[in-house]
Amino acid sequence: MTGGAISYTLLLLAGCALGLFFYGGLWFTIRALCGSRHPVLLMLASFWGRTAVVIACFLLLMDQLWQNAALCLAGFVLARFVCARLMPNPPAGKGAA
């Protein structure tokens, strides 16, 4: 494996880690909404906090190269599919279709 292949693999894994952080945080936030005294504040703070961390990490990782940004984004999207598969579905309520 060359140095370029290793760095590309690490960028893809970093994108996966950011995706797991973002979507895992979203999952924890949604689970905590029912018991929260201020659900809107919780949702907004969680969204902006997760978004700020992910954008800052993307900017650091891309190092002004669009190829690096594309690899991080590919890992991020891959993590979204993994999270959708692994996280349990909520139970269907009365109003569920």
> Where are the chain's structural domains?
9-86
Q: Which residue has the higher pLDDT, 3 or 14?
A: 14
Mean pLDDT, the chain, rounded, equals 88
Q: Which residue has the higher pLDDT, 30 or 92?
A: 30
Whole-model pTM: value is 0.82
pLDDT at 43: 94
pLDDT at 91: 66
Question: pLDDT category, 93, cuts 50, 70, 90?
Answer: low
Residue count of the chain, please give it: 97
Question: pLDDT category, 63, cuts 50, 70, 90?
Answer: confident
